Structure 1
Amino acid sequence: MISYRQHVVSLVAVFLALAAGVVLGGGPLSDLGRDDSATAADTLDAGDQRTLAFAEQFAATAAPQLYDGGLRQRSVALLTAPGVDEEAVTGLTAQIEAAGSSVAGRYDLGTELLSGSSKTLVDTLGTQLVEQVESGLVDAEATTYVRIGQLLGRAVASTGRPERPGSDAETVRQSLVAAELVTASDEDARLAPLVLLVLGEDAEPTVLAGLVSGLATTATGVVVAGDAASAANGDLADLREDPAATQVTTVDGVETVLGQVSAVLALVREIDGTGGSFGASGEAGPVPLG
Structure 2
Amino acid sequence: MIRHRSYAVPVTAVLLALATGVALGAGPLTDTRSDASPQPRIVTRAPANGYPDTFAASVAGRLYDHGLSRRPVALVTMPGADAATVSALVTQVKAAGGQLTGTYAIQGQLVDPEQKSLVDTLGIQLDKQLKHGTEPGASTYPRIGQLVAIAVANRGAAAGAADDDVVAVRQSLAAAKLLTVPAGHPQTAPLVLVLLGSPLDQAIADGVLAGLGAGARGVVAVAPTKDATLAGLEADGVTKGVTTVDGSETDAGRVAAVLGLVRAWSTRGGAFGASGADGPVPLG
Q: TM-score, normalised by structure 1?
A: 0.84
Secondary structure at the aligned position of 1:282 is classed as coil
Match of 1:155 among 132, 151, 155: 151
Q: Tell me whether 1:257 sits opposite 2:251 in the alignment.
A: yes
Using the TM superposition, name which of 253-262 and 52-61 deviates more.
52-61
CA distance in 2, matches of 1:190, 1:100: 17
- Cα deviation, residue 240, structure 1: 1.9
- Cα deviation, residue 68, structure 1: 1.2
Q: Tell me whether 1:116 sits opposite 2:113 in the alignment.
A: yes
Q: Which amino acid aligns with 1:18?
A: A
In the TM superposition, 1:1-290 aligns within 5 A as 5-22=4-21, 50=48, 52-135=49-132, 137-160=133-156, 161-230=158-227, 234-290=228-284
**Who wins on radius of gyration, i.e. which is larger?**
2
CA distance in 2, matches of 1:47, 1:167: 61
Larger relative helix fraction: 1
When the two chains are superposed, the root-mean-square deviation of aligned CA atoms in Å is 2.1
CA contact (8 A) 1:93 1:102 kept: no
**Equivalent residues, number:** 261
Secondary structure at the aligned position of 2:75 is classed as strand
Decide whether aligned partners of structure 1 residues 69 and 142 sit closer, same or farther in structure 2, where only a CA change above 3 A counts.
same
- Deviation string, structure 1 residues 14-61 (Cα, Å, up to 9, x no partner): 1332244259xxxxxxxxxxxxxxxxxxxxxx97661x4222222112
CA contact (8 A) 2:226 2:275 kept: no
Q: Which amino acid aligns with 2:167?
A: E
Q: Which amino acid aligns with 1:11?
A: P
Secondary structure at the aligned position of 2:282 is classed as coil
Task: Point out 4+ residue stretches in structure 1 off by more than 4 angstroms.
Answer: 46-49
CA distance in 1, matches of 2:200, 2:134: 23
Structure 1 alignment gaps of length 5 or more:
24-45
CA contact (8 A) 1:80 1:107 kept: yes
Structure 2 alignment gaps of length 5 or more:
23-43
CA distance in 1, matches of 2:269, 2:11: 20
CA contact (8 A) 2:191 2:217 kept: yes
Q: Which amino acid aligns with 2:96?
A: A
Q: TM-score, normalised by structure 2?
A: 0.86
CA contact (8 A) 2:15 2:55 kept: no
CA contact (8 A) 1:201 1:235 kept: no
CA contact (8 A) 1:226 1:252 kept: yes
The answer for the alignment partner of 1:39 in structure 2 is: none
Higher relative contact order (CA 8 A, sep 6+): 1
CA distance in 2, matches of 1:270, 1:235: 21
CA contact (8 A) 1:107 1:182 kept: yes
Decide whether aligned partners of structure 1 residues 195 and 4 sit closer, same or farther in structure 2, where only a CA change above 3 A counts.
closer
Decide whether aligned partners of structure 1 residues 256 and 217 sit closer, same or farther in structure 2, where only a CA change above 3 A counts.
same
CA contact (8 A) 1:269 1:275 kept: no
Secondary structure at the aligned position of 2:92 is classed as helix
